[in-house]
Amino acid sequence: MADIYDDIRKGERGALVSIIAYLILSAFKLISGYVFGSSALLADGFNNLTDIVASLAVLIGLRISRKPPDSDHTYGHFRAETVAALLASFIMAMVGIQVIVEAVRSLFEGAKDIPQLWSAGVAVVCAAAMMGVYIYNKRLARQINNSALLAAAKDNFSDAMVSIGAAVGIVGAQFGLPWIDSAAAVAVGLLILKTAWDIFRDSTYRLTDGFDQDRLLDLRSTIARTPGVEGIKDLKARVHGNHVLVDVVVEVNAEITVMQGHEISDSIEERMSTLHNIMNVQVHVEPKQ
């Protein structure tokens, strides 16, 4: 259990990296946007300020998930990180809609002042920095199997794409093609909405105790091959934060002793831990009819 809490602390570190990056990059973009007269860069900077809220939600969710079990949460608070990912998806969806609405509005407004080309360079540098944060958080999220941090990483990627879209629009304006800015913004907005939907779908699937059937078949196969197990009457599994809970009813020889049945249960738990890294297995033993 200590390893699980250590992993959550690592996830908090990733969320903090996102918050610090957003604070620095938003300030850089807003100052550069005013200096170089780039509305696209200003919009990108304000977008990053919004993303700080999503990263804070992830950080708070991870902090809550570290709380030990209590009388009201006997399984612990691990699902708080999934709730945090769900909240992050809502924030991302609002940002995506805002990006598309602003792009359409900009398209109908007509001609604008052409921003300095330096602002495109600022956008590219910020996109590269945010892509680095995305790679860091994605690797860490995969390593510790943390859905909330993975949601934050996807948000990082979306923001990198927003900056690239801003750079494309600024360059297009230099060649008298202001519509490229709007087209790029719409494409980026749709990408953000797609990412938000993926996070929302995964989070709601976990919160409603959805579990991959292929993985469940693998678990069933492992249990069925355990010496002493003569049948499986029922098998359920669900995701609880960053680990899996398994409930299984197995059939054994009706003539064995209680101690032998207990040893079979221990063997199942050991196999699930070794082969599938599942530490929480509830085994109920019934006599084979």
Domain boundaries, the chain: 2-207, 213-287
Q: CA 9 to CA 67: how far, in whole Å?
A: 12
pLDDT of residue 111: 54
- Pick the closest to residue 37 from 170, 210, 164 (CA basis): 170
Burial 169-199 (b: 16+ CB within 10 A, else e): bbbbbeeeebebbbbbbbbbbebbbebbeeb
CATH 3.30.70.1350, applies to 213-287: yes
Which pLDDT band holds residue 112 (cuts at 50, 70, 90)?
A: low
Domain 2-207, CATH number (from 1.10.287.130, 3.40.30.10, 1.20.1510.10, 3.40.50.300): 1.20.1510.10
pLDDT of residue 110: 62
Q: Residues 89-117: what's their mean pLDDT?
A: 78
pTM of the model: 0.76
Indicate whether 129 pLDDT > 60: yes
Which pLDDT band holds residue 109 (cuts at 50, 70, 90)?
A: confident
Which pLDDT band holds residue 124 (cuts at 50, 70, 90)?
A: very high
Which pLDDT band holds residue 228 (cuts at 50, 70, 90)?
A: very high
Indicate whether 183 pLDDT > 80: no
- DSSP letter string, 49-101: HHHHHHHHHHHHHHHHHTSPP-SS-TT-STTHHHHHHHHHHHHHHHHHHHHHH
Which pLDDT band holds residue 200 (cuts at 50, 70, 90)?
A: very high
Residue type present at position 257: T
Fold agreement (2-207, 213-287): no
User: What 3-state DSSP class applies to 232?
Assistant: strand
Mean pLDDT for the chain overall: 85
Indicate whether 1 pLDDT > 70: no
pLDDT of residue 287: 92
